[in-house]
Structure 1
Amino acid sequence: MQAPSPPPPSGTPVLSRRELLLFQALVEKEAGIHLSAAKDALVANRLSRRLRELGLHSFGAYYSYVTEKGHEAEKVRMLDSLCTHETSFFREPQHFDLLRQRILPEWSALAAAGRRPRTLRVWSAACSTGEEPYSIAMCLLEAFPKGSGWSLEVVASDLSTWALQRSQQGLWNLDRSRTIPQTLLKDFMLKGVRTQEGLMKAGPELRTVMRFARVNLNVPSEWPSGAFDLIFCRNVLIYFGADARSRVIQGMVQKLTPTGYFFLGHAESLIGVDVAVRSVSANVYTPRQLAGR
């Protein structure tokens, strides 16, 4: 038996079953995210601030407001409120070990043999507050430093405008550095002093390769253009409905270069998704025709 949800804070309207169903349908239609019935307290707590700021007294009134023509900006704020932002530098470190020890040396050898261009494009498709794309950028710059002749680009995207602004800022509490390898921390991060003591900031080399965009993964027309050598789409599709999840994976695999790699999170898999890839490591895939390389 499922434990009952905790009571809402004092003064917070009660989210009815009907209202929850309305928000479930809206969020899945707009963003592909499936809010289970067990998320009723989460939805109520995260949206209650918007009700207070707008002077609304029920979730039904907020639903009517957010779906009215001309209130697209509020719909964006609603989705922002419901996004989860759990992340860290070099999260799931085995993925970064694979990148540094196998994938990047492999591409370097292919380029030296004239079998691929000295260009790398990466998409961090749910970048949250930036720890993942900056981790990737550190790995790329370690392997292909300035002056090596390589062109590097890391596209960091997220549904949440708040998270994307934090990512663009490239500023974190120093305690977030604990999972960054010391050599990379020294080479690419700046330690704050005086008014910024206790903080660290992405250095100029990192910033030169970063690009940022708000992207709704449920809307392929919003996706960044062109092909990618790496696509990291980790720990976001677990929140998607089955159909939306399948569409996103299929679309992303189609955006891979012939020697590209697709990364999912540790709790995700391709079970039930018809896609032409082969597993090369835990939750890492490459186009099927290259699996034997």
Structure 2
Amino acid sequence: MSAHPPQLRVMETPVLGPRELALFQALVEKEAGIHLSAAKDALVANRLSRRLRELGLSSFKAYYAYVTERGHEAEKVRMLDSLCTHETSFFREPQHFDLLRERILPDWAAQGAKGMRPRTLRVWSAACSTGEEPYSLAMCLLEALPPGAGWSVEVLATDLSTWALERTQQGLWDLERSRTIPQPLLKAFMLKGVRSQEGLMKAGPELRAVMRFARVNLNSEGEWPAGPFDIIFCRNVLIYFGAEARKRVIDGMLRRLSPSGYFFLGHAESLIGINADVSSVSANVYTPRARPPATHRTR
């Protein structure tokens, strides 16, 4: 009997060639509007390799055939989940939240107190990733427009990724992620984990009461929620879209924005090249342009 251990078969890493990459590029842009450049080949190969291993497939060509076969829609969703980027943080791009807390929300609070606007507010956080953005928005809203003052607010958090959306619904994060939350808001709205949840923090009941969740593909407007919304955050996602899809998404969102609402883009995004009837309020923040009252010609 040999003293040497049996030889283990080493699985070869599948190669994502230019043809296979082109197939996935076209599929992802068609399904989600996301443009994967050729420079993303290593990222695509790395993230999709996990799906190949799960399914026992030996090549990207076989995986493409599988994911495009009728009846495998669930795997198509998993594929898109794998390719989504989930970089986010609480109060990311803080100047936007400063604008809300120092100008926009105090103005609306004053208008509501004078009966100049209804005390209801709807907010859409599109491409919300793991929830840090919509919960940051909810904290700002509840601080400035509390239910005790008669306000009713709703924050709709949506994302393409089912995995990210599940994390958002849990409202549970590592405590270290609290560092960017202003201390008064952290104390007012977050719970610190103890015992089995030590090192974690959880959204408190006031936050959970105003949150709504839905899986939304921004490339498929038929799936979108109905407006109007007073605030729409669509930040740091359209940089991954092709020009045509980017314009289509922005046009659709502006149609869902209330006449007095605000539209927020990410720091690397803008409306340059898009003929939008809006005014710039601050960096990457827009509001519908006020239209002059209609005039009637007398005869």
TM-score range for the pair, normalised by the shorter chain length: over 0.9
**One-letter code aligned to 2:233:** F
Shift of residue 11 of structure 1? Answer: 3.2
Question: C-alpha distance in 2, partners of 1:173/1:99?
Answer: 26
Question: C-alpha distance in 1, partners of 2:228/2:77?
Answer: 27
Cα distance change, pair 91–290 in 1 and its aligned pair in 2 (3 A): farther
Alignment of structure 1 residues 12-161 onto 2, 5 Å = 12-161=13-162
2:239 is matched with 238
Question: C-alpha distance in 2, partners of 1:98/1:265?
Answer: 14
Shift of residue 115 of structure 1? Answer: 2.5
Which runs of structure 1 show a deviation greater than 3 angstroms over 4 or more consecutive aligned residues? none
Q: Does 1:263 align with 2:268?
A: no
Shift of residue 146 of structure 1? Answer: 2.6
Question: C-alpha distance in 2, partners of 1:105/1:145?
Answer: 12
Shift of residue 290 of structure 1? Answer: 7.3
Contact 1:120/1:151, CA 8 A, preserved across alignment:
yes
Question: C-alpha distance in 1, partners of 2:116/2:65?
Answer: 56
| Count of aligned pairs between the two proteins | 282
Cα distance change, pair 99–73 in 1 and its aligned pair in 2 (3 A): same
Give the secondary-structure state (helix, strand or coil) at the position aligned to 2:147. coil
- Structure 1, unmatched stretches of 5+, are 1-9
Q: Percent identity of the aligned residues?
A: 81
Shift of residue 144 of structure 1? Answer: 1.5
Give the secondary-structure state (helix, strand or coil) at the position aligned to 2:275. coil
Higher Cα radius of gyration: 2
Q: Deviations over 1:29-80 (max 9, x none)?
A: 0000000000000000000010011111110110000000111000000000
Contact 1:259/1:290, CA 8 A, preserved across alignment:
no
1:7 is matched with none
Question: Mean Cα displacement is larger for which, 18-27 or 111-120?
Answer: 111-120
Give the secondary-structure state (helix, strand or coil) at the position aligned to 1:289. coil
Shift of residue 107 of structure 1? Answer: 1.1
Give the secondary-structure state (helix, strand or coil) at the position aligned to 2:214. strand
RMSD of aligned residue pairs (Cα, Å): 1.2
Contact 1:234/1:264, CA 8 A, preserved across alignment:
yes
1:283 is matched with 284
Shift of residue 110 of structure 1? Answer: 2.1
**One-letter code aligned to 1:169:** Q
Shift of residue 88 of structure 1? Answer: 0.1
Give the secondary-structure state (helix, strand or coil) at the position aligned to 1:147. helix
Question: Mean Cα displacement is larger for which, 219-228 or 31-40?
Answer: 219-228
Shift of residue 89 of structure 1? Answer: 0.1
Question: C-alpha distance in 2, partners of 1:152/1:36?
Answer: 39
Give the secondary-structure state (helix, strand or coil) at the position aligned to 1:259. strand
- Structure 2, unmatched stretches of 5+, are 1-10, 293-299
**One-letter code aligned to 2:111:** L
